[in-house]
Amino acid sequence: MSNVFGKRSSASDGGDHWMSVSDLMAGLMMVFLFISVALMRDAMNERDKIKEVAVTYEKTQEAIYLALVREFSEDLEKWGAEIDRNSLSLNFTAPDVLFANGKSDLTNTFELILSDFFPRYLEVLNEYKPSIQEIKIEGHTSSRWNHDSTDYEAYFNNMNLSQSRTRAVLGYVMNLDLVIKDPFTYSWVKQYVAAVGYSSSKVLKNKHGVELAQRSRRVSFRVITNAEEQIRKILGGAE
């Protein structure tokens, strides 16, 4: 009998042992479940924050575009300019008005245009400064140089030309009275306005893929908002 009872006792001990393991496994599963729920909640919160930034970005883009159109719509034709909704670029696309062929000196006409345009441009953007990451003055050329140049030589000759032209534009607008005589405006322009030359890397083409040489030679003022920076901050905070 005692042997029988002993066996029962051993079986009972084994049962208790397996019940403890089952309880432990159930507890671990609950822990993993809570962790999964927490991670899903964080991911959803992160997604919602990014979505909120994206929506705000779209609204800001549209607001800046409409503000530029309201301010400059009556001047675009006489300036030979246009506003691109998607890139928030105001493009000066009449190359003969901007510079002499192959030169980086501003024409008198372009100086007059910039003297009128840039102070008003800053005034329009003043309301949106918290959302602005950078303003790029972009110089673009056609792919042409002279007939004896290789593609490589033409590209880098045009690179030097486009960079010289945008530096000339930046130098001119920074020396306008509105900028040079106002320390705050001068500091802001110095910090946020950059001059970039793209050579022929972004030529304009017609629907058949043929380069539009005249229109490709242009100068653009492009607004870049800080939406991407805000999203990176969200992702960095999540880490």
Tokens at residue 147, please? 């007939």
**Strand locations in 154-216, DSSP E?**
193-197
Tokens at residue 233, please? 């901050």
The 10s digit of each residue's pLDDT in 133-175 is: 999 999 999 888 877 889 999 999 999 999 999 999 999 999 9
Q: What is the mean pLDDT of the chain?
A: 85
**81-84 and 132-140 beta bridge pairing:** unpaired
pLDDT at 238 over 60: no
Read off φ and ψ for residue 104, nearest 5 degrees.
-115, 0
Name the pLDDT band for 182 (thresholds 50, 70, 90). Answer: very high
pTM: 0.75
pLDDT at site 25: 73
pLDDT > 70: percent of the chain: 78
Mutual orientation of helices 183-192 and 151-174 as an angle, nearest 10°?
A: 160
Side-chain half-sphere of 222: how many Cα atoms within 13 Å? 18
| Own/partner long-range contacts of 40-43 (Cβ < 8 Å, ≥24 apart) | 42/238
pLDDT at 11 over 70: no
- Hey, which residues does 84 pair with through a beta bridge? 89
Are the C-beta atoms of 222 and 138 separated by less than 8 Å? yes
Mean pLDDT, residues 108-112 = 97
Report which of residues 90 and 45 the model is more confident about.
90
Structural domains of the chain ordered from first start: 51-233 (3.30.1330.60)
